[in-house]
Amino acid sequence: MKNIAVFASGSGSNFIKINENIINNNINGKIKVLISNNPRCDAVEYAIKNNINFKIINNHRYPEKKIKDKEYQNILSKSEIDLILLAGFMKKIPFSIIENFKNKIMNIHPSILPSFGGPGFYGIKVHEAVIESGNKLTGATVHFVDEEYDRGPIIFQKSIDVLSDDGPTDLSKKVLKIEHEIYSKVVKYYCENKIKIIKDKVVISE
């Protein structure tokens, strides 16, 4: 069983879906801690209701960067974390964590990377950009996290058609369904030791 930490700032819908799959024995893991910068977000509320340990780490509580970064490390070490999942976390991960958890941090992005990724491409902005571009396909990508936004090794992608009458909100709802599906699938594979990186490429043995 893998010990999992989730980082979330908002609704945490992927966090919730993954935890539901853990409860239903579809994923051989346990969410040991939720880390959030936003004490009033839905993800924290869900953690409280479901007896999941959580930690609030933000500039207000930890104004000194060194102390804040150390607090991240402390909670991850204390929880003996094997895998970190980003689920709508709106802060940059400290470089020390990326180094210490190389190929053990995953993120879900609402586009087919590398298209519509990087700084400024998040949330509804991604779907607005997809529609404005005229692209006929979009989707979601699960990838490992490195020091560059949305540039780590791609683990899994799934695409859908962009219809002529799709607006950004319509597209976001469709893509979110894909996110819930593929993020849980990838976490399941990881917890079963089915994901490996060979020559900088991700290989999944189903």
Read off the pTM: 0.95
Residue 149 DSSP class: T
Per-position b or e across 110-139, b if 16+ CB within 10 A of its CB: bbbbebbbeeebeeeebbbbbbeeeeeebb
Whether 86 and 11 share a structural domain: yes
Q: Which of 131, 104, 101, 126 is nearest to 115 (CA)?
A: 126
pLDDT tens by residue, 10-52: 999 999 999 999 999 999 999 999 999 999 999 999 999 999 9
Residue 54 lies in a domain: yes
Q: At 46, which CATH number?
A: 3.40.50.170
Residue 197 lies in a domain: yes
Distances (CA, A) of 32 to 39, 55, 173: 18, 11, 28
Residue 179 lies in a domain: yes
Query: Model confidence at 115, in pLDDT bands (50, 70, 90)?
Result: very high
Number of domains in the chain: 2
Domain span at residue 161 reads: 108-140+155-206
Q: Which residues are part of the catalytic machinery?
A: 109
Whether 23 and 115 share a structural domain: no
pLDDT at residue 167 above 90?
yes
Residue 184 lies in a domain: yes
Whether 62 and 126 share a structural domain: no
Strand, coil or helix: 104: coil
Whether 12 and 83 share a structural domain: yes
pLDDT tens by residue, 60-109: 999 999 999 999 999 999 999 999 999 999 898 999 999 999 999 999 99
Residue 150 lies in a domain: no
* Rounded (5°) CA angle 87-93-98: 105
Whether 52 and 28 share a structural domain: yes
Residue 90 lies in a domain: yes
Whether 86 and 174 share a structural domain: no
**Strands 201-204 vs 105-109: parallel, antiparallel or unpaired:** unpaired
Per-position b or e across 47-65, b if 16+ CB within 10 A of its CB: beeeebebbbbeeeebeee
**Rounded to whole angstroms, how far apart are CA atoms 181 and 204?**
16
